[in-house]
Structure formats: structure tokens, C-alpha cells
Amino acid sequence: MQRIASLDDIAAGLDALCRIDPRLEPVRVFAGEVPLRLSEPGFANLASIIVSQQVSRASADAIFGRLTRLLDPLTPEAILGAGEDVFREAGLSRPKQRGLIAIAEAVAGGLDLYHLCSLEAGEAIAELTAVPGIGPWTAECYLLFAAGHPDIFPAKDVALQSAVGHALSIEPRPAERKLIALAESWAPWRGVAARLFWSYYRELKGRDAAPPA
């Protein structure tokens, strides 16, 4: 698996995508800078993605900032030892609390978040989504940003749906299944396509909606 590990890899992927689908040329121009968004694999990275589920990027950053101040370092052991008061002070919803506890228990029980980054996407996603509270979107984002996986497109992401719909004049915006089918044509660079459309959304809306990395 070729890892997206540098801005040169992003540039190569964008060049390839524009050859594959010339409609992406103006998207690339409008989007401007397409950042690498690569971070260290491990529990803290996955926890930040869990926190960002179904909330704005600004809200996710605020919640995760409070959580990491309350639990420093943020480890599975710290999550498992935290009480309800800590989660409440951080602003975590019940589902996010359950998700963080479940993944902390899984890691404490032997789930290797570093090893997952070396697996093919399907196998890694299957292992992650076997943990209660970890859905496909969370697993896909972890592999994009922690593993630098080149060919994953989180089609459930509302910002990506909106960006693709606007950029390609698709009304109403493509829902998950339609976007999965559309993104197949961007293989094997769907991970770069996702970064491109998050950047497009940033320029369109004036705010960053990509999950933290």
C-alpha cells in the first residue's frame, strides 16, 4: 500500500485525479491548498475522531481540548479511570462516552491501533467497526489521517457530500450510496479526493469541516 506521507504525494494524487476526471481541475483551483493531514497513529488520534462525530469542527476542537486538559496524557487507562464528572466537564455526549470507553477497553484488551495502519482498508475497517461505537466513518477517517491510506473516501461525511454536490452541480447533494459509487472512479486516489473536497468546502463555506488530524 502506498502511503500518503508528504505534500508531494498529495500533489501526485491531485495530478492523477485531474487526469482521471477533468471535472476536478476547477475544483482543485478553487480549493487552493490541500493539506497533508497526517498524524501519529494511536489512541489519542482515534479519540479525537470519535469526539468529532456529528458535531462541527469548532465544537469538536473545544470538547477535545477540554478532555485533553482534564486527562493528560490521554490514554486508554486514563479514560477507563475517569468518572462521569470528567466526561461531563469535557462536554462529551453519552454516545461519545460509550465510544471512548469501548475503544479504550479494546486497546487495553490487545487491539493494536498501530498494526491496523499496515493492513488493507477492508480488514482494518472490519476490526475497528467490531468495537461498539466505532462506525465506518470513524474507521475511515482514522485510516486516512493516521495510516495515510491513499484510497478511502468517507462518503457518509456531510461536508464531503455538500462539497461534491456543489462542485459537480449535483442536486440534491449526493447521499452516501451515490457518493460511494461516484468516488469509485477516483480510485486509487480516493484519499486525496477526500482531502481535495474538504479543502473545497473550506473555501466555499469559510470554515474547516475536515475531522481533526
Q: What is the mean pLDDT of the chain?
A: 95
Q: What's at 105, amino acid-wise?
A: E
Q: Are 162 and 14 a contacting pair, CB within 8 Å?
A: no
Identify the structural domains of the chain with CATH numbers, from first to last: 7-36+151-205 (1.10.1670.40), 43-146 (1.10.340.30)
Q: Whole-angstrom Cα distance, residue 35 to residue 51?
A: 21
Residue-wise pLDDT tens digits, 150-182: 999 999 999 999 999 999 999 999 999 999 999
Put simply, whether the predicted model's pTM sits higher than 0.95 gets the answer no
175-178's contacts with Cβ under 8 Å and 24+ in sequence apart are: none
**28-54 tens-digit pLDDT:** 999 999 999 999 999 999 999 999 988
Q: 91 near 15, Cβ under 8 Å? A: no
121-131 tens-digit pLDDT: 999 999 999 99
Contact partners, residue 210, CB within 8 Å, separation at least 6: 37, 57, 159, 195, 198, 201, 202
Residues near 184 by Cβ (< 8 Å), separated by ≥ 6? Answer: none
Three-state SS for 141-182 is HHHHHHCCCCCCCCCCCHHHHHHHHHHCCCCCCCCHHHHHHH
